[in-house]
Structure 1
Amino acid sequence: MGKIRLSKRLTNVSEYVKKLGTLADIGSDHAQLPIYLVQNKNVSKAIAGEVAKGPFQVAKSEVESHALEDKISVRFGDGLEILAPHEEVDTITICGMGGLLIGNILNEGIRQKILSKNTRLVLQPNNAEKELRDFLQKSNYEIIAEDLVEENHKFYEIIVAEYSEKNIQYTEIERTFGPLLLKEKSSTFYKKWEAELKTNKYIVEQLKNSKNSEKLKVTQKIIHQIKKVLS
């Protein structure tokens, strides 16, 4: 088969993977990212991990159909447990999952001493980006790059982090909006948060007559933060 083509989201993710190293892609989605990176000689070898039998078989078939079994190992298992003890990888990518789930996978990897401090993390959460940044800060991971991609009318944040001995401290605003995304404030950033502002204003209107005062308070706080950042 010919060269694989990635979505815009995964193409942007691929740009942050350490060159010529070993990649572990968790929840590999047909092994698209590992195949692309190996085909383009961006990584020397890769591991594609899947926790469900169906996607595992599909990833295996994709790797075989591209004749890359010698370069890409497709493994069945939960999160970082697909890695052998003391197996070093240069980059771990986890894309297309909720931020809380990504945090849980990484936390389990730290707890079981699977996750090496030398490994770069390239993460693309579908939600709960703030909670994921909370986890990274708490675990002493410094955010070294961020990206924001719009694809099919959805916005995707990419967070790149590496372990640091420094005391990592981000403000609540930085953890909510992304410390590096805040500095750049691209047109996509404005587009995303203007849409979020509109959604949250609608939620406030719906909550005004409800008894959920806590939810109302949280939403009003988010609106205040967005307005402050966009001003």
Structure 2
Amino acid sequence: MIKLSKRLQTIADRVSAGSRVADIGSDHALLPVYLIQSGQIPSAIAGELNAGPCDAARKQTADAGLTGQISVRQGDGLSVLQPGEADTVTIAGMGGSLMAEILEGGYHSGKLAGVQELVLQPNVGEDIVRRWLVRRGWVLTDEAIIEEDGRIYEVLRAVSVADAEIRNIVVYDLSAVPLQTMDSYVKAGWLYRMGPHLLRKPSGLLMKKWELEHQKLERIRRQVSLSDSPESREKEAALRNEMNQIKEVLACLPTDKPSFN
């Protein structure tokens, strides 16, 4: 059986047993091959936009002897999927904006019909994905944060349920951000950015991710401060405000505090 990277294994661990999986942007089809080899799922669709990765996925599938269980298809996003073909859709390794565009296209075209579970790993823009999930009636049930090869990733699992609107009120309860100095709108923004489940059970890795973000913003602020233009002053003030909010949120979380050197 193939061995997955830590990132892909985290995704695999959140796929429901027995589900039919559509892995969008499957690259070498490592995830579908592993899920079937491990007995976790019965079948899968591996979708890939470009010919090279699509050929690699076909070779990986053939080498594993799984051509009868994995359908490798070339196409854009969820266009490779027919309504009712999959119970779970996995998408990993792309930006949150593109991921949300793919999901939105699938929503409007009916490709998500019958899909009950999404397991998503955006490289950036996790808040964009979380907002899409809420807007389209999905409930975020689980979040994981991991580090691999010097990069920090978040993995999101969501389900489609009839009472999503009610359940999302609980998921995005503003008390998860224990700050009296922030208004409700700002608090909600940080829930989407940092992750409601991650904030409820904060880890050192979550702290590290946002300390690194704080450091990045400080580098940008220093560059902006070199200009005396009104636009630069306004930008610098916005950066300072965001940095202060990061410090406030992290200072309230019950875990080791960041240094903010």
TM-score, with structure 2 as normaliser = 0.83
Number of equivalences? 228
Residue equivalent to 2:220: 203
The CA deviation string for residues 89-110 of structure 1, in whole angstroms up to 9 with x for no partner, is: 1211000000000000000000
Instruction: Tell me, in whole angstroms, the C-alpha distance in 1 between the residues paired with 2:64 and 2:35.
Output: 13
3-state DSSP class of the match of 1:115?
coil
Q: What SS class does the counterpart of residue 132 from structure 1 fall into?
A: helix
Deviation at 1:220?
A: 2.6
- Contact 1:20 1:44 (8 Å CA) reproduced: yes
Deviation string, structure 1 residues 31-83 (Cα, Å, up to 9, x no partner): 00000110000111111000111111110011001110111110111111111
1:14-163 superposed matches below 5 A:
14-84=12-82, 86-116=83-113, 118-163=115-160
Other structure's SS at 1:10 match:
helix
Deviations for 1:141-172, whole angstroms, at most 9, x for unmatched residues? 11100000100111001111112333235321
Identity among equivalent pairs (%)? 39
Give the secondary structure class of the aligned counterpart of 2:157.
Answer: strand
Q: Which moved more, 1:134-143 or 1:62-71?
A: 134-143
- Alignment RMSD (CA, Å): 1.5
Structure 1 unaligned spans of 5+: none
1:203 and 1:219 map into 2 onto residues whose CA distance is 8
Deviations 1:12-33 (CA, angstroms, capped at 9, x unpaired): 1101001011110000020000
User: Is residue 2:246 matched to residue 1:226?
Assistant: yes
User: 1:191 offset after TM fit, Å?
Assistant: 1.5
Distance across 1 between alignment mates of 2:95 and 2:140: 18
Q: Is the 8 A contact 2:119 2:158 kept in 1?
A: yes
| Residues 224 and 82 (structure 1), Cα distance of their counterparts in 2 relative to 1, 3 Å cut | same
The whole-number CA distance in structure 2 between the counterparts of 1:191 and 1:9 is 18
Distance apart, 1:207 and its partner CA: 1.1
Paired residues of 1:94 and 1:122 also in contact (CA < 8 A):
yes
AA aligned opposite 2:242:
I
| C-alpha spacing 1:217/1:75, structure 2 compared with 1 (3 Å) | farther
Q: Based on CA coordinates, which of the two structures has the bigger radius of gyration?
A: 2
For residues 160-205 of structure 1, the C-alpha deviation after alignment (integer angstroms, 9 at most, x for no partner) is: 1112333235321110100000011111111111111111112111
Residue 216 of structure 1 is matched in structure 2 by 236
| Counterpart AA for 2:195 | G
The two structures have a TM-score, normalised by structure 1, of 0.93
The answer to whether the 8 Å contact 2:143/2:154 transfers is yes
Gaps of 5+ in 2: 173-187, 252-261
Cα distance in 1 between the residues matched to 2:59 and 2:51:
12
Distance 1:26 1:221 in 2: 38
Q: CA deviation at 1:217?
A: 4.2
Report which structure shows greater RCO (CA 8 Å, sep ≥6).
Answer: 1
Distance in 1 between the 2:153 and 2:114 partners? 26
* Kept after mapping to 2: 8 A contact 1:18/1:90: no
Moved over 4 A (4+): none
